[in-house]
Copies of this chain bind each other. A is one copy, B any other.
Amino acid sequence: MKFEIKKRDAAARICRFTTNHGTITTPNLLPVINPNKMIISPKEMKKLFGTEIVITNSYIIQKSEKLRQKALTDGVHKLIDFDGPIMTDSGTFQSYVYGDVTVDPLEIVKFQKDIGSDIGTILDIFGTPDQTKKEAKQAVEETIKRATQSIPYKGEMMLACTVQGSIYPELRTTCAQALSKIEADFFPIGGVVPLMENQRYTDLVRCILSSKQGLNPSKPVHLFGAGHPLIFPLAVALGCDFFDSSAYAKYAHDGRMIFSWGTLKLEDISELPCCCPVCSEYTATELKKMDHKKQTLLLAKHNLYVSFAEMKKIRTAIAEGWLWELVEQRANSNPYLLESLGELRKKEHVHWLEQFEPISKNKALFYTGSHTIHRPLINRIHNRLCTRLQQSSDTTIVLPEGKKPYSSFYSQRIQRILSKNPVQIVIQSSLGPVPIELDEMYPFAQSVFPETIDSETKKYSKKIFDEYLTNQKIQYWDDVKEKFFDISDAENDTDWTIQRISGVANMQFGLKASDALFHGDIRIVKSKKTKKIRNIYCDSQHILSMRASDGLFTLKIRGAQLLHSSFASPHLRVIVENDAVPFIKDGKSVFAKFVKECDPQLRPYDECLIVDENDTLLAVGRCLLNRLEMLSFQSGLAVKSRETLSES
């Protein structure tokens, strides 16, 4: 198995996942194929919807003499006529629906291997939401026991070991941790169907997060039984990589049409509010009049067109950096889903989610309502403001929210203030406090908040503002502006570029990074056209460049040396194993499997120092993973190397 992160946003990731039957992209959806009753064949699914992987049920195959023989002789790929990867389920869900199933937990694993399943599943114990904690604990223990016993039987097959634990977060985490210690390849999160059926999305969020928090992050995670696209964006944002849909068929059979925002009964509507090939070819009236079999087929197709399109939309949102926007928009379709976003504000969840959040995105951050301000990335920014930025004065002059970038909009005011005294200038923005020197840095300039925001956000950003300026003497512009009226424009030429580069450096590289970087003879080269900072030289050596798109620094090797000599390990370090050193020196990037340790403060797309086990600086690069991921992934890059320290 190979599972490599290619792109990311929130705790979501676009990965390449390699199986014995080809490489596919995640997040992805596995249509459930009933080997007894295929409405649409997997082959046709591939053609119509771009289906890359399917799931079928080994329990059903094993129960049927005919299917079992064919599967054992020809393999499951021939049985359902699909040459892509096939996952098999084990009968756990059947045991939940129909009571006990007559199958041996180890036998069914062996059977899945024997029929050539790419990913087999253990026979875990389905934990229902109404279990007592004691019952749930027993079920978890039995699941872990069965998983452990199943491992020796898996052979070449990947084994999916399902996380159970009912609605008890600590049981979920314990189960996840235990399953991460054995050689499991794939982690379904199980027992969530009753939660989805009853729209208990807050409980669902808790189950996903507590499971994820215990799991090895380098293996795929599958939200078992989640087939309605309404839940896809949120579940993906929390780190789910796979979904399976039997809903497409069940809903179609009942005359229900799935949409990304909900469900409609065909009989209730007179038009088809959709542009999929089915809804473009037929009218509601035509569909209603059809015989049930044909109607079911067409509705199933519609349901899959819509579900796969949502998957594509989610992957696009990850690649483009607007997954949280999509999550918040989608949540608006359902009051309970909307409510579940409140769960994400809890400290422990924000803390966990923040680690996966890239430090910068392609797209501006969009306000969608009262949940936006609580995104993990904004939380990080607030924390970094309070812990990484030196306050340069005991007095702060506060400017109100204005047009972005603030330094252009308020250039005259800033000049007047700075010509008089070296106070701090902070914008009281919708996002919270914005020290003027950071105003071009993501997300301060790259965010869109309307003039009028909800009072909850206002209150929260005021709170952050007050926290940030706790010990400051605060002067609001309107109260003090007269003091600056006597300053002529001629005096207004204070160059505060040094403040800007110091502020950005500290936010990116840590408290006092500016002291490490900016001493000696500093030369700053700006773009002639935009007047923006481009390159920074220290004693004629290029140490930093600033990206125009997000106002963040990229680190040159000389800058890395300065940081390396000022900050003790592991600050900003990615420590590689000795075996990898020659490759790094040769300019190669760092593969995750060679990472020995890593600064826990490093985040995806952060600049980092690549060092050997003796803390000798080897190169400078950009992290693609956080520490948790670097230490667990066995395939793929951890750091993209930019510049190597040439031997001298």
Copies of this polypeptide in the complex: 2
Residue of B nearest to A329 (CB): B332
Query: Is the beta-carbon distance between B309 and A450 smaller than 8 angstroms?
Result: no
User: Is A367 in the interface zone, CB < 8 Å from B?
Assistant: yes
User: Is A267 in the interface zone, CB < 8 Å from B?
Assistant: no
Nearest-Cβ distance from residue A392 to partner chain B, whole angstroms = 32
User: Is A476 in the interface zone, CB < 8 Å from B?
Assistant: no
Measured CA separation A454–B275 after assembly (Å): 34
User: Is A274 in the interface zone, CB < 8 Å from B?
Assistant: yes
Chain A 262-292, CB-CB to B under 8 Å as 1, else 0, gives 0010001111111111011000000000000
Question: Out of B48, B368, B456, B459, which one reaches A280, CB within 8 Å?
Answer: B48
Q: In the complex, what residues of B have CB within 8 A of residue A308's CB?
A: 275
Question: Out of B270, B279, B333, B367, which one reaches A309, CB within 8 Å?
Answer: B279
Residue of B nearest to A268 (CB): B320
Measured CA separation A205–B583 after assembly (Å): 61
Q: In the complex, what residues of B have CB within 8 A of residue A342's CB?
A: 452
Task: Report the stretch among A311-319, A414-422, A591-599, A618-626 that lies at the interface.
Answer: A311-319
Query: Is the beta-carbon distance between A273 and B455 smaller than 8 angstroms?
Result: no
Question: Out of B306, B320, B336, B455, which one reaches A275, CB within 8 Å?
Answer: B306
Measured CA separation A320–B319 after assembly (Å): 36
Query: Is the beta-carbon distance between A276 and B275 smaller than 8 angstroms?
Result: yes
Nearest-Cβ distance from residue A341 to partner chain B, whole angstroms = 10
Nearest-Cβ distance from residue A215 to partner chain B, whole angstroms = 27
Measured CA separation A451–B264 after assembly (Å): 25
Query: Is the beta-carbon distance between B335 and A270 smaller than 8 angstroms?
Result: no
Q: In the complex, what residues of B have CB within 8 A of residue A268's CB?
A: 320
Nearest-Cβ distance from residue A518 to partner chain B, whole angstroms = 36
User: Is A339 in the interface zone, CB < 8 Å from B?
Assistant: yes
User: Is A178 in the interface zone, CB < 8 Å from B?
Assistant: no
Question: Out of B49, B368, B455, which one reaches A456, CB within 8 Å?
Answer: B455
Residue of B nearest to A322 (CB): B262
Nearest-Cβ distance from residue A329 to partner chain B, whole angstroms = 5
Question: Do A335 and B448 contact each other (CB < 8 Å), given the known contacts A261-B329, A316-B264, A370-B369?
Answer: yes
Nearest-Cβ distance from residue A507 to partner chain B, whole angstroms = 25
Residue of B nearest to A280 (CB): B277
Query: Is the beta-carbon distance between B339 and A452 smaller than 8 angstroms?
Result: yes
A residues 351-398 near B (Cβ < 8 Å) are: 366-370
Q: In the complex, what residues of B have CB within 8 A of residue A312's CB?
A: 271-274
Query: Is the beta-carbon distance between B319 and A305 smaller than 8 angstroms?
Result: no
Q: In the complex, what residues of B have CB within 8 A of residue A333's CB?
A: 325, 329, 368
Q: In the complex, what residues of B have CB within 8 A of residue A366's CB?
A: 334-335
Q: In the complex, what residues of B have CB within 8 A of residue A9's CB?
A: none
Q: In the complex, what residues of B have CB within 8 A of residue A367's CB?
A: 335, 338
Q: In the complex, what residues of B have CB within 8 A of residue A335's CB?
A: 366-368, 448-450
Q: In the complex, what residues of B have CB within 8 A of residue A459's CB?
A: 455
Measured CA separation A48–B275 after assembly (Å): 10
Residue of B nearest to A334 (CB): B366
Nearest-Cβ distance from residue A24 to partner chain B, whole angstroms = 13
User: Is A328 in the interface zone, CB < 8 Å from B?
Assistant: yes
Query: Is the beta-carbon distance between B269 and A316 smaller than 8 angstroms?
Result: yes
Q: In the complex, what residues of B have CB within 8 A of residue A451's CB?
A: 339
Nearest-Cβ distance from residue A195 to partner chain B, whole angstroms = 15
Q: In the complex, what residues of B have CB within 8 A of residue A332's CB?
A: 328-329, 332, 368-369
Question: Out of B49, B277, B319, which one reaches A277, CB within 8 Å?
Answer: B277
Question: Out of B317, B369, B455, which one reaches A338, CB within 8 Å?
Answer: B369
Query: Is the beta-carbon distance between B273 and A276 smaller than 8 angstroms?
Result: no
Measured CA separation A388–B263 after assembly (Å): 37
Question: Do A450 and B368 contact each other (CB < 8 Å), given the known contacts A264-B316, A269-B320?
Answer: no
Query: Is the beta-carbon distance between A269 and B319 smaller than 8 angstroms?
Result: yes
Q: In the complex, what residues of B have CB within 8 A of residue A316's CB?
A: 264, 269-271, 273
Question: Out of B48, B279, B309, B368, which one reaches A274, CB within 8 Å?
Answer: B309
Q: In the complex, what residues of B have CB within 8 A of residue A270's CB?
A: 316, 319
A residues 400-458 near B (Cβ < 8 Å) are: 448-452, 454-456
10 inter-chain pairs at a CB distance below 8 angstroms, sorted by A residue, are A48-B280, A269-B316, A273-B309, A274-B275, A275-B306, A277-B277, A338-B450, A454-B454, A455-B456, A456-B456
8 tightest A-B contacts by CB? A339-B450, A273-B313, A275-B309, A275-B305, A275-B276, A273-B316, A335-B450, A271-B312
Give me 18 other A-B pairs in contact (C-beta within 8 A), A276-B277, A335-B448 excluded: A264-B316, A270-B319, A271-B319, A274-B309, A275-B276, A275-B305, A276-B280, A328-B332, A329-B329, A332-B332, A332-B369, A335-B366, A335-B450, A339-B450, A339-B451, A342-B452, A370-B456, A455-B459
